[in-house]
Amino acid sequence: MFQSSPRRIRFVAVGLALVLVAAFTVAAILLRSSWTGAYFEVSDQVAMIGIGVLLGGAALMLTRSRVRADTKGIEVRNVVGVRRFDWDQVEHVSFPDGASWARLELPDDEYVTIMAIPANDGARSVAAIRELRRLKSAHTADA
């Protein structure tokens, strides 16, 4: 079984989440430190921190992506949702020029983006594409 998830985006997303939570927390603390012409209560401060936590959580959703494949098929989990395809449903595994992510080419000119294999992971992404293509061709040879 082959499994892959993005590496660089994990560091970026975690860093972004920490910065968002920290920035909104600092802003919440500073809300009541000086007169701004408006009255801010503790509930406003809590709400600001809550917004930071929500935005940080949204940034962490980028780390959810994953691809799993075996000789029977491939499972793609992107930011929202999981889809499973048998190799018979997949025409090609490709990485178009200029694309940010790999993709599965499906019949009728449809495709599914594989966010778990980003272009910025370099050689790791190349190795993942090669392994997916090998699994697909192994299935085709068995059929």
Query: For 10-54, what is each residue's pLDDT tens digit?
Result: 899 999 999 999 999 999 988 877 776 777 888 999 999 999 999
Q: How confident is the model at residue 139 (pLDDT cuts 50, 70, 90)?
A: confident
Instruction: Provide the whole-model pTM.
Output: 0.80
- Could you tell me what percent of the chain has a pLDDT over 90? 70
Residue 102: what pLDDT? Answer: 94
109: left (phi over 0), alpha (psi -120 to 50) or beta: left
- How far is it, in rounded angstroms, from Cα 87 to Cα 140? 8
- How far is it, in rounded angstroms, from Cα 134 to Cα 126? 12
Nearest Cα residue to 104 out of 138, 79, 133 = 133
Question: For residue 3, what are the β-bridge partners?
Answer: 68
Q: How confident is the model at residue 143 (pLDDT cuts 50, 70, 90)?
A: low
Sequence-ordered list of residues with C-beta below 8 angstroms from that of 56, at least 6 positions apart, any chain: 16, 17, 18, 20, 21
